[in-house]
A and B are shown apart, each in its own frame.
Chain A
Amino acid sequence: MSNPAKQRTEVAASTLELLHSEMVEYTTNDSKYSSHKEKAYTVLEDMGFKVGIRLGERLTRDKGRFADNLDTIKFICKDFWSECFKKNVDNLKTNHKGTYVLHDSKFTYLTRLSLSTPEETANAAKNHVVFSCGIIRGCLSSLGVEAFVTAEINALPSVLFKVIEISRQ
């Protein structure tokens, strides 16, 4: 793990996109879940959650701990996003009361998504952001921030990820 850059093994990025779209197909078309799409989403999100926890531990290896939740979210927007999706988050809004909105104008898994009509594409897009919501939730959880993460797609390929902290009162 402490290899210098030239010894890092690299994998083609397209393989991850293919794997991801296959994962979405596999879970949403499974006959167990055909009647309840929410169950398929739960499975996908759970997968993402477990990946996110491990990514969170791995990426914060050398950096110090974060002072507060805003710092954690900022880390997610920069380092974590560029590791996972090869770009930074374009816009971050917060209401300072525990809700954060991360705006990504060209979300990786949606840029190459296209079905026969725009309506079908918009429908299918909802399936493709669930895994990433899980990854974000897992990473936050491993850094000590419990939150709900949902995604809103208004115009492909831009996505709004809403992070709502679960406050324990």
Chain B
Amino acid sequence: MPAAYFVIVGKEDCPLYELEFTAQGRKEDQSQLKQFILHASLDVVEELQWGSKELFLKSVDKFNNFSISAYLTAGYVRFLILFDGERKSDDSIKQFFTEVHELWVKIQLNPFYELNATIDSPSFESKIKQLVNRYL
């Protein structure tokens, strides 16, 4: 699987969920840089969100070799993914985001889930990993 960093950012600009994938065998020493780039790209996402009514805003930012794709829900929650080097097609990224959106709505519907809190559920994590394996 390609090196990627996936984050769900809530309405108050706080990260609710983060997941990092590394290509096999490589030591990951750039995690902080990736986080920093993703947070910087939130500004770009905010600019773009007023211009389009679409949920999926394809590639929003590029930095050196990293490219960032974003997806926005109706409740202004952002799903961001940062790719290191090779990127899959827009379609498969879009499908990945749509499935994550479904999982996200299911988590929200849980009455014990405090809104805008981090998502700790291990089943959510395993499902996201399955989706990454399938689409990315």
Residues of A at the B interface (CB closer than 8 Å) are 1-2, 50, 53-54, 56-58, 60-61, 63-67, 142-144
Classify the interface of chain A: helix, strand, loop or mixed. loop
Task: For the complex formed, measure the closest distance between the CB of B78 and the CB atoms of chain A, giving whole angstroms.
Answer: 12
Q: Which residues of A contact B109 (CB under 8 A)?
A: 54, 57-58
Q: List 6 other contacts, CB 8 Å, given A57-B105, A58-B108, A65-B74.
A: A1-B102, A56-B74, A60-B73, A60-B74, A61-B105, A142-B75
Report B-chain residues with C-beta under 8 Å of the C-beta of A143: 74-75
B72 interface contact, C-beta 8 A = yes
CB of B42, distance to nearest CB on chain A (Å): 16
Q: CB-defined interface of B105-119 with A at 8 Å, one 1/0 digit per residue?
A: 110110100010000
| Residues of B in contact, count (CB < 8 Å) | 18
Residue of B nearest to A67 (CB): B53
Q: A57-B73, A64-B53 are in contact. Are A1 and B106 (CB under 8 A)?
A: yes
Which residues of chain A have C-beta atoms less than 8 A from B73's C-beta? Answer: 57, 60, 65
